[in-house]
């Protein structure tokens, strides 16, 4: 018996070494952790339970039968993050470059199936050279099996991808279908075709970092949600994100202890909006002052900065925040901000996360590049996302809410539950100057008359009371009491139920 136990320990030790000490040292030399070190950092200490440690590939072509390392290039299992169940797979670059084989894919699929069955998030740590060429179509089939499970899990359990090395070709589509993608600067990249293929086909000279690095995907393409300096920081932020999320679509997000008075008065908010309507201010100041302990977890911080998305807590409960940012493009909606916010709103709606919308929007960004790029359809995505959402929704208009952008930003007409406005709010079809020049076109040559018409329009419409008279604004509130009013509104909506017509699925304007 003792010999058998010793043999098991030897086999386990061999499996934990992956591709061997030399390759582990090479991994460390690139500034990267190994697959197992990453799991140890991600999960609570001692909580990891591994599956399929001894699985080996079955390929016999190209001499592959002579190399059959245990685990086959991916470490899979389950554990806890702050005591809550999660499933995880971590690709091991020290074994065949983390390439995906038939059995490698089967290990990942098993974890995905268990996560769906047991209603727990799945976290994938990607560090792979792509499909294992020696296995041919079997490896491609493996990718498709993983993709299908990503699709089935979408909206059922949270899916998080952490890119910690190469992720190219077909491998990119699994992370692309997950809810959040994190990357590591300088050591991770994602692209469908690499720099060599790009040079051959289009004659463009580009590095892997420029083509698909963390900065590219967080600032330009919006593929990734955040980029971090190293593996340790990225995994710590994943732990923080998981804390905001529910385990699945049938559970509420976790309620955390809080030490911040829900009725807290913030006198500084009374002077947040400048007297001059064209002067910008930082909407993040309002967000920090509304959330418990000023904590805010921003999503896609470096992309489409004219809109802010992220998570805060109010009375210890997760709330998704969508807010226009007057500091960038005056807070206008455009193609990028519409896509960013629509994706976030749909995620919150999938997982019963209430949505707080902070509005200061002068309209959609004009221009040929926006129209040629399809701003109509992209703006409709945000409109569709809000109109479809059935979670509790509270909207606060701080300043401008003009034109179609007023409608789109969680207006009362899109079934928002509570619509508040500050006294500084201006709910109108357009700004006073533009409206005056259209209505009083005959007086354009008389500056004094135009100035008087503009003032009259401002006095009549540049306020929240016309909308409040019609019930489109539920209450005009004092800025300093915003946290109290928002907290009470969400508390009253905890048992909200909405019945919608039966449908197979919607047809969102993609």
**pLDDT tens digits along 435-471:** 777 887 877 777 777 777 777 777 777 789 989 999 9
Mean pLDDT of 267-290: 95
Burial class (CB in 10 A: 0-12, 13-18, 19+), 173: middle
Tell whether the model's pLDDT for residue 325 goes beyond 70. Answer: yes
Contact criterion met (CB below 8 Å) for 293 and 328: no
pLDDT at 418: 97
What are the tens digits of pLDDT across the range 100-154? 888 999 999 999 999 999 999 999 999 988 878 777 788 889 899 999 999 999 9
Phi, psi of 322 (to 5 degrees): -125, 125
Sign of the CA dihedral with 28 first, then 31, 34, and 37 last: positive
Name the pLDDT band for 433 (thresholds 50, 70, 90): confident
pLDDT averaged over every residue in the chain: 91
Residues that are catalytic: 169-170, 404-405
Higher pLDDT, 455 or 307: 307
pLDDT at 162: 97
Mean pLDDT of 6-34: 84
What are the tens digits of pLDDT across the range 37-63? 999 999 999 999 999 888 776 766 666
Share of the chain above pLDDT 70, in %: 97
Tell whether the model's pLDDT for residue 98 goes beyond 90. Answer: no
CA distance 414 to 400: 18
Q: Distances in Å between the alpha carbon of 19 and those of 55, 59, 71, 72, 98?
A: 14, 17, 10, 10, 10
pLDDT at 190: 94
pLDDT at 434: 74
Tell whether the model's pLDDT for residue 432 goes beyond 80. Answer: no
Name the pLDDT band for 87 (thresholds 50, 70, 90): very high
Contact criterion met (CB below 8 Å) for 183 and 214: yes
Burial class (CB in 10 A: 0-12, 13-18, 19+), 270: middle
What are the tens digits of pLDDT across the range 342-397? 999 999 999 999 999 999 999 999 999 999 999 999 999 999 999 999 999 999 99
Task: Determine the 3-state secondary structure of 124 from DSSP.
Answer: strand
**What are the start-end ranges of the H helices in 83-153?**
102-118, 137-153
Lowest mean pLDDT among 20-29, 169-178, 402-411: 20-29
What are the tens digits of pLDDT across the range 487-508? 999 999 999 999 999 999 999 9
Name the pLDDT band for 4 (thresholds 50, 70, 90): confident
Task: Determine the 3-state secondary structure of 23 from DSSP.
Answer: helix
What are the tens digits of pLDDT across the range 203-247? 999 999 999 999 999 999 999 999 999 999 999 999 999 999 999
State the CB neighbour count (10 A cutoff) for residue 510.
Answer: 8
Residue with tokens 């209505």: 439
pLDDT at 16: 80
Contact criterion met (CB below 8 Å) for 350 and 372: no
Tell whether the model's pLDDT for residue 28 goes beyond 80. Answer: yes
């Amino acid at each position: 018996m003792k010999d058998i136990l010793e043999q098991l320990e030897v086999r386990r030790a061999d499996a934990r070494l992956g591709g061997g000490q030399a390759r582990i040292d090479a991994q460390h030399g690139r500034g990267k952790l190994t697959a197992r070190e990453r799991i140890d950092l991600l999960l609570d200490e001692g909580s990891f339970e591994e599956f399929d440690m001894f699985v080996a590939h079955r390929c016999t072509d190209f001499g592959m039968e002579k190399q059959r390392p245990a685990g086959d290039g991916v470490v899979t299992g389950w554990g806890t993050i702050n005591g809550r169940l999660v499933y995880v797979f971590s690709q091991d670059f020290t074994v065949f470059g983390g390439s995906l084989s038939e059995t490698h894919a089967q290990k990942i699929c098993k974890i995905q199936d268990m996560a769906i069955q047991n209603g727990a998030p799945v976290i994938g740590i990607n560090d792979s050279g792509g499909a294992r060429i020696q296995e041919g179509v079997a490896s491609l089939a493996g990718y498709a099996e993983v993709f299908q499970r990503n699709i089935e899990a979408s909206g059922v359990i949270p899916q998080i991808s952490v890119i910690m090395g190469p992720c190219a070709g077909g491998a990119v589509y699994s992370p692309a279908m997950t809810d959040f993608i994190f990357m590591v600067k300088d050591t991770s990249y994602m692209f469908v075709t690499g720099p060599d293929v790009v040079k051959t086909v289009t004659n463009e000279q580009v590095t892997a970092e420029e083509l698909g690095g963390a900065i590219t995907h967080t600032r330009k393409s919006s593929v990734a949600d955040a980029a971090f300096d190293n593996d340790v920081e990225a995994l710590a932020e994943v732990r923080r994100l998981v804390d905001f999320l529910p385990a699945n679509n049938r559970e509420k997000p976790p309620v955390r202890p809080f030490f911040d008075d829900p009725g807290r008065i913030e006198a500084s908010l009374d002077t947040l909006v400048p007297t001059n309507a064209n002067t910008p201010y930082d909407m993040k100041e309002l967000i920090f002052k509304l959330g418990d302990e000023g904590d805010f977890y921003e999503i896609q911080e470096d992309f489409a900065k004219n809109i802010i998305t992220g998570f805060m807590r109010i009375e210890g409960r997760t709330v998704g925040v969508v807010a226009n940012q007057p500091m960038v493009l005056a807070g206008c909606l455009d193609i990028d901000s519409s896509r960013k916010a629509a994706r976030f709103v749909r995620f919150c709606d999938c997982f019963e996360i209430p949505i707080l919308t902070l509005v200061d929007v002068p309209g959609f960004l004009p221009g040929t590049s926006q129209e040629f790029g399809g701003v109509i359809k992209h703006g409709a995505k945000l409109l569709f996302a809000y109109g479809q959402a059935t979670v509790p929704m509270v909207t606060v208009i701080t300043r401008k809410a003009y034109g179609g952008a007023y409608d789109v930003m969680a207006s009362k007409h899109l079934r928002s539950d509570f619509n508040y406005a500050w006294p500084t709010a201006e709910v109108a079809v357009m700004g006073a100057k533009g409206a005056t020049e259209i209505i009083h076109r005959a007086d354009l040559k008389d500056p004094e008359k135009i100035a008087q018409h503009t003032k009259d329009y401002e006095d009549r419409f540049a306020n929240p009371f016309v909308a409040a008279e019609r019930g489109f604004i539920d209450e005009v509130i004092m800025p300093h009491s915003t946290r109290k009013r928002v907290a009470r509104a969400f508390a009253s909506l905890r048992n909200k139920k909405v019945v919608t017509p039966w449908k197979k699925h919607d047809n969102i304007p993609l």
